[in-house]
Amino acid sequence: MSFDTPGAGANNDHRPTITHRRNAQRDFEGNTMNEPVYAPSLPEIRVDAKEEIPVLDLGPYLAGEPGALDRLAEELRHALENVGFYFVMNHGIDQALIDGTFAAARRFFDELPLERKMARRFNQHNVGYEPIGGSVTRHSKINENNKPNQVESYFIKRDLPAEHPDVVAGVRFRAQNQWPEDLPGFREQCVAYAAAVERLGKSLVPVYARSLGLPADYFDKAFEEPMFTLRLSHYPQRPPQQEEDVFGIAPHTDTGFMTFLPFNEVAGLSIRLPTGRWVDVPGLPGSYLINSGDMLRRWTNDRFLSTPHRVINRSGRERYAIPFFMDCDIRWRMECLPTCLEPGQTPKYPPITYTEYMSWYRAQNYAAPPTDEASPAA
């Protein structure tokens, strides 16, 4: 899918300026600290780049056709080296399951009063409810002085039982979910959807390996039990008089290995193409839009992109979204991949784990994490 010239559906807005803050980060109060910056470099602007979002057909690969893995890997390599976003068709996830999860998101945000949602407040494990204005995109080097994001979200991770060793040990980001008690079927719907997208994500891991010139099973150990987050989101309609620098989610790059976004009937997502032009993502019914994030960019030594994007709900309707973020095992140490290092070259980034990166990200974007006796602040 290409964008030949600005027009319907395109956004020529160059307002977000790139600012480099490689030597400082902010604490909860917004102060700068002389500590390492975890976020990788932003993709360079290439004015002569082709403006496109590739569309990949997963059907032959998922059907096990001979040669399909390497053909798909070549298409994926092009997408992630040049765009950072791509659509997939014939992904195998039942549309009824997707529709049911959108409906679950609407139920959670529309049926529960604020006090019930706040009783499950977003905690240090990145699980629970975050109200409108509860986050500020500080980790991003794209925009300065972002205002609070105009989105409410409910974060779900792998549904671990109370007796799981990581839950018992209090391992960060491995806590139990905070399920509402008065939405029948809600938990079951979300767990089923997360399991389906996780299966799809794990099926793509060999394609990522081959796209990097590695054996198909190279990442198998790293993704035996991947970390994931299902984030149900609600973006209210943007008031006509709202300031221009107020966003549903401000310009940013994602944190992880891959993000899955099913087709959304209500527009609002836009991405910054390699040329530097911001465009509204066109709808492609039946597809997933997938993008790479910062941890994959670090892992590939900047070979794969982590592309800036943002959400502004100008639709005149309430917008709901169900992004799914997938990463490697929480204990896996991501070191520069051997095919992403030229002879004599040193890695741009030191090894890092999911916990290390997400702890930094959590401190950047959620200025005052809630505390209680059972869950001390990070």
Domain harbouring 242, CATH code = 2.60.120.330
| DSSP label of 152 | E
Domain count, the chain: 1
- Please check whether residue 81 lies inside any domain of the structure: yes
pLDDT at position 97 is 98
Structure pTM?
0.88
Name 278's bridge partners. Answer: 272
Domain membership of residue 239 (yes or no) is: yes
Question: Given this model, what pLDDT does residue 246 score?
Answer: 86
Quote the crossing angle between the two packed helices 186-211 and 95-111, to the nearest 10°: 130
- Look at residue 5 and tell me if it is in a domain: no
Q: Is residue 371 part of a domain?
A: no
Q: What angle do CA 320, 4, 79 make, to 5 degrees?
A: 65
Task: Return the pLDDT at 12.
Answer: 44
- pLDDT in the model for residue 3: 60
Give the residues across from 10 on adjacent strands: 279
What domain range includes position 123?
Answer: 25-365
What pLDDT was estimated at residue 250? 92
Question: CB under 8 Å, gap of 24 or more: what pairs does 335-343 form?
Answer: 335/299, 336/299, 336/300, 336/301, 337/212, 337/214, 337/299, 337/300, 337/301, 338/214, 339/212, 339/213, 339/214, 340/212, 340/299, 340/300, 340/301, 340/303, 341/301
The SS3 call for residue 334 is strand
Cα-based distances in Å from 212 to 64, 155, 204? 20, 31, 13
Question: Alpha-carbon distance 36 to 50, whole Å?
Answer: 34
Q: What is the pLDDT of residue 25?
A: 34
For residue 145, the model assigns a pLDDT of 62
Tokens of 31: 């102060």
Q: Is position 341 within any domain?
A: yes
At residue 52, the 3 state secondary structure works out as: strand
Residue 329, burial from CB neighbour count under 10 angstroms (0-12, 13-18, 19+): middle
Task: Identify the segments of the chain with pLDDT beneath 50.
Answer: 5-34, 368-378
CB-based contact 77:69 (threshold 8 Å): no
Structure tokens at 75: 């298409």
In terms of phi and psi (left: phi > 0; alpha: psi -120 to 50; beta: otherwise), the region of 147 is: beta
| Residue-level pLDDT at 204 | 98
Residue 187 falls within a domain, yes or no?
yes
Output the six-digit token pair for 344. 């004599």
Integer CA distances (angstroms), 6 to 41, 55, 266, 291, in order = 27, 20, 21, 23
